[in-house]
Structure 1
Amino acid sequence: MGDTTSSTTGSKKAPARESARRKEDTLGRLGQDVDAWVSTAGADGLPYLTPLSFVWHGGCLLMATRVTNPTARNVRANGRAYVSLGNTRDVVLIEAEAEAVPVEALGEAEGEAFVAKLRWDVRSDAAYTFLRFRPVTVTAWREVNELARRHLMRDGAWLV
């Protein structure tokens, strides 16, 4: 008996997308979505999860938060993070190298891209820092039928 219905909704599942289509959809989400969930851990190992707005620029996600925010502290402490887009039926999960970028060290093009997309300019506010997330792995899936081929990037290189 083939499983073509979702156990939670009873509706028909869409066929699995090919890897190239999932990459295209993922890049579309990175360009269009505004918010992401960011998961970091401090030097003490305690996890912290927060939503932040982002811009996809130069192959990295760029976000801003207060310098004193736990996410900023955690990025400075260990330089790793997970970033997630979407819901449980359309997941993009990114493991990333993360760095805090002081406002004065942010490149002009990055700053302009951030302001253009998010309509929020914190470049003159010393209470804020930017966070740059460079993807190391990217996985994307919608349903169980896409789990086997969910890996789109490994070691910072696209697989498709």
Structure 2
Amino acid sequence: MTPPPRSAEQRKQDTLQRLRHDVDAWVATAGDESPYLVPLSFLWDGETLLLSTATASPTARNLLKTGRTRVCVGLTRDVVVVEGTVEAVPGTEIDQATGDAFAAACGFDPRASKAPYHYFRVRPVLIQAWREANELEGRDVMRDGRWIVPG
């Protein structure tokens, strides 16, 4: 039996919980190449997701070209989908505190790599959250970069 749909307030709370505590996400990009989907670790700072990948990767090339991504966090039947704009920061220019926080949260420090890396700060424009078909209606918890539910 499918549980009843969550309230908008509960969906927002569950979304923030997932963003604060999950570490991995599926990151979708597109550019001149074919669409690309890759798992990456992330750090949520309360406003943005911070990702990092090798500068030469298709993901980095697409993010640098388009400045947009779609990120999925969670399970198929408990997913948070984030569409956002991207700010790129070369790995050599990331501030120490941010680099340290990313490494501690993700268990990986791109600054230690011999290959060049970029960090990508994803600013959400749209966030959706749903578990079952009965939650498709009302799945938007953020639109135009603003939480729909206050608080």
TM-score, normalised to structure 2, is 0.91
Residue 155 (structure 1) aligns with: 144
Q: Which runs of 5+ in 1 are unaligned?
A: 1-11
Residue 48 (structure 1) aligns with: 36
Residue 95 of structure 1: which of 80, 83, 101 is its match? 83
Higher gyration radius (CA): 1
The 10-residue stretch of structure 1 (69-78 or 122-131) with the greater mean CA deviation from structure 2: 122-131
Do 1:136 and 1:157's aligned partners in 2 also have CA atoms closer than 8 Å?
Answer: yes
Structure 1 position 146 matched with structure 2 position 135: yes
Q: Which runs of 5+ in 2 are unaligned?
A: none
Do 2:91 and 2:116's aligned partners in 1 also have CA atoms closer than 8 Å?
Answer: no
For 1:96 and 1:149, the matched residues in 2 are separated by: 19
AA partner of residue 119 (structure 1): G
Change (3 A) 1:108 1:62: same
The 10-residue stretch of structure 1 (106-115 or 46-55) with the greater mean CA deviation from structure 2: 106-115
AA partner of residue 131 (structure 2): R
Do 2:86 and 2:123's aligned partners in 1 also have CA atoms closer than 8 Å?
Answer: yes
Do 1:103 and 1:124's aligned partners in 2 also have CA atoms closer than 8 Å?
Answer: no
Structure 1 position 115 matched with structure 2 position 103: yes
TM-score, normalised to structure 1, is 0.86
Residue 74 (structure 2) aligns with: 86
Q: Tell me how large the CA RMSD over aligned residues is.
A: 1.4
Residue 7 (structure 1) aligns with: none
Aligned length: 148
Residue 21 of structure 2: which of 32, 41, 62 is its match? 32
The 10-residue stretch of structure 1 (115-124 or 66-75) with the greater mean CA deviation from structure 2: 115-124
Q: Please state whether the residue corresponding to 2:75 is helix, strand or coil.
A: coil
AA partner of residue 88 (structure 2): A
The 10-residue stretch of structure 1 (55-64 or 125-134) with the greater mean CA deviation from structure 2: 125-134
For 2:143 and 2:53, the matched residues in 1 are separated by: 28
Superposed displacement of residue 124, structure 1: 4.5
Q: How does 1:114-133 map to 2 (within 5 A)?
A: 114-125=102-113, 127-133=116-122
For 2:122 and 2:38, the matched residues in 1 are separated by: 15
- After superposition, the C-alpha distances for 1:33-76 in whole angstroms (9 at most, x for unaligned) are 1110000001x262111100111014111111111010100011
Do 1:81 and 1:98's aligned partners in 2 also have CA atoms closer than 8 Å?
Answer: yes
The 10-residue stretch of structure 1 (57-66 or 150-159) with the greater mean CA deviation from structure 2: 57-66
Residue 57 (structure 2) aligns with: 69
